[in-house]
Amino acid sequence: MAVKVVELLVTAADGAYIDLTAGSGGHLRVTAETLEPSARLYGIDKDPQAVARTRTNLSDCPQLKEIVQASYSDLIAVAGRLEDKAFDGILLDLGLSSVQLDDAGRGFSFRYDGPLDMRYDPQSGARSAADLVNTLDVGELAETIREFGEEKLAKRLARAIVRERQEKMIRTTFDLASIVTATIPPPHQTKSLARVFQAFRIAVNRELDALTGVLPEALSLLKVGGRLVVISYHSLEDRIVKRFFQREAKGCICPPRYPVCICGRVPQMKILTRRVVVADAAERESNPRSRSARLRVAEKIR
C-alpha cells in the first residue's frame, strides 16, 4: 500500500513530512521519490535496530533530515528538537515489520523459537512478555488476553498458563505457543496463537495507550491542509483511529438533548477516507501480511 499511502499523504512537493514508525524506511523512500530536493523528511522509531537500518537505507536521500530513536508517545518532545516544528503530513504505520517478525530473538512470532521478549526497545527496561506471563495472576492474564487479543477463551488460556508456570518458568515463544495449542482445539489454534501473541505484545509496549495519546499530538503538529495517515492492523487500533477522526471532524460534543451548541468546539479535521481503505487483491496475493492493513486519512482544516 506504500504508493497509495504516499498519494494520500503528500500535499506539498516541497513540504515537511514525518514518519512516526519509520521501520526500515520503506515509506520514507517512496515519499522521497515524489518530493522535490528542498522537501524535508524525518523519521521516528522506538526500535534501535530499525533506526540503524533506516539511516543506512536512506543515506542517499537528499530530503532526509533526521531519524530519531524514540517512541511516538514522545512526539511533542522529539518534534521540539527538529528543524521543522509543523508538518504537511504525518504517517503512523502501526504494524510490525517483517524484519521484526522474522527475527526469532525478538520474540514477536509464535512461528520461531526464541526468548519471550516482544519489546520494541529491548534496552528500555520495560517488562518483557515473559515477565508478564510469569507474574500476572489468572485474572490479569485473562483480562490481557481478552482485552488486547479479543480471544473468547481467555480465561481457559490464563488458567493453563498458570498451571504450566507452576511446573516451570515460561521463557520462550515456543513455551507459550505450546500452552495455546494444547488448550485450544483445532482448527482454531492458529487464530488463537495470533491473538495471544498480539495481546502480550500490546500489553508489553502499551500500544493502545500510546496510540490514544499520539493522535491529538499529531493533529497539533499538522499545518492547516496537512494530513494524518494511519495504518492499523486490528480492530482495537482501527476503532481508536476511527473515533478520533470522527470526533475531530464533528466538532461539537454537546449532548444530543441540547437544542444549541454550548461547548464551542468546531471541526478540526476533514475525513478523506469515509470507508476504510484496504489492500487490493494483487497486493494481498504478493504480500499476505497486508491483508489486515486498514488505512484511514484525515486533513487538518483549521
Domain boundaries, the chain: 2-99+207-300, 104-205
**What pLDDT score does 280 carry?**
86
**What pLDDT score does 279 carry?**
87
**What pLDDT score does 194 carry?**
96
**What pLDDT score does 289 carry?**
75
Question: What are the angstrom distances between the C-alpha of 215 and each of 6, 10, 67, 235?
Answer: 19, 19, 20, 17
Q: Which residues of 242-281 are buried (b: 16+ CB within 10 A; e: fewer)?
A: bebbebbeebeeeeeeeeeeeeeeeebbbbebeeebebee
CATH topology of domain 2-99+207-300: Rossmann fold (3.40.50)
pTM, two decimal places: 0.94
**What pLDDT score does 253 carry?**
86
**What pLDDT score does 38 carry?**
97
SS3 helix, strand, coil % of the chain, rounded to 5? 50, 15, 35
Domain 104-205 class in CATH: mainly alpha
Angle between helices 173-183 and 189-205 (to 10 degrees): 140
Low-confidence ranges of the chain (pLDDT < 50): none
**What pLDDT score does 97 carry?**
86
3-state secondary structure of 173: helix
Could you report how far apart the first and last alpha carbons of the chain are, in Å? 28
